[in-house]
Amino acid sequence: MTSRSWSPELYRAALVFAAEAHGGQKVPGSERPYVTHPVEVAAELCAAMLVDPVSDPDLAVQCALLHDTVEDTSVRVEDLAARFGAAVARGVAALSKDPTLPKHARMGDSLRRIRDEPREVWMVKLADRIVNLSHPPSYWTDEKIDGYRVEAVEIADALGAASAVLEARIRAKILAYGRR
Ligand code: NI
């Protein structure tokens, strides 16, 4: 595959939109502005795309920057479709848990919907979990940390085929996770 870069303009537009949507939210357990989280996810993804090229890097970076806007803010899937197009809106919708389902069923449902989307969307979910495995919030219990690790294995098994480099990254993070 010939390697194509992502558009800095589209990156910036998605970043500004996400920053405004997340407003004063903080990364849980920290004083960091929440928008630093999607930026970390986009950075993880951009690094991976240099090694594992994708056919639509713009879809990947926009979904990375916007991935929590529907789940965590008042932004609706329709708003994303109007502003960023149908493919980005579908990708973010798949990356968002369905709050009408029982809690235990939400991740499996989201993973099934992600698997119906292009590989770029699978890679966003892998990158998201890689970032979140870097440091459990300080207030989490051992039980919560164990559950998060089990869920990460589920994500790696369901989506790892999308990117060898991200699969290696998430498996390494899972091994190191929660060691205090
Ligand atoms: Ni996230």
CA 131 to ligand 1 centroid distance, Å: 8
pLDDT at 2: 54
**Residue environment code for 85-118, b if the CB has 16+ CB neighbours within 10 A, otherwise e:** eebbbbbbbbbbeeeeeeeeebeeebbebbbebb
Q: What residues are neighbours of ligand 1 (ion), with CB under 5 Å?
A: 68, 128
CA 27 to ligand 1 centroid distance, Å: 10
pLDDT reading at 150 higher than 90: yes
Nearest to 92 by CA among 107, 80, 82, 103: 80
- Return the residue matching tokens 């770029």: 120
pLDDT-based confidence at 4, cuts 50/70/90?
A: confident
CA 106 to ligand 1 centroid distance, Å: 15
d(CA 114, CA 95): 6
| Domain parsing of the chain, residue ranges | 8-176
pLDDT at 135: 79
pLDDT at 137: 84
CA 138 to ligand 1 centroid distance, Å: 17
pLDDT reading at 54 higher than 60: yes
Nearest to 67 by CA among 93, 43, 86, 85: 93
d(CA 13, CA 136): 30
pLDDT-based confidence at 3, cuts 50/70/90?
A: low
Six-digit token string for 115: 């698997």
Tell which wins on pLDDT, 177 or 42. 42
Residues belonging to the chain: 180
pLDDT at 87: 98
Which residues, at least 6 apart from 13, have a Cβ–Cβ distance to it below 8 Å? Answer: 84
CA 161 to ligand 1 centroid distance, Å: 20
CA 37 to ligand 1 centroid distance, Å: 7
3-state secondary structure of 26: strand
pLDDT at 180: 57
d(CA 145, CA 46): 27
pLDDT reading at 162 higher than 80: yes
d(CA 175, CA 105): 25
CA 26 to ligand 1 centroid distance, Å: 12
Please state the pTM of the whole predicted model: 0.95
Nearest to 65 by CA among 6, 142, 5, 116: 6
CA 82 to ligand 1 centroid distance, Å: 22
d(CA 140, CA 115): 29
d(CA 72, CA 117): 21
First-to-last C-alpha distance (Å) of the chain: 42
CATH architecture of 8-176: Orthogonal Bundle (1.10)
Q: Averaged over 28-43, what is the pLDDT?
A: 95
CA 128 to ligand 1 centroid distance, Å: 5
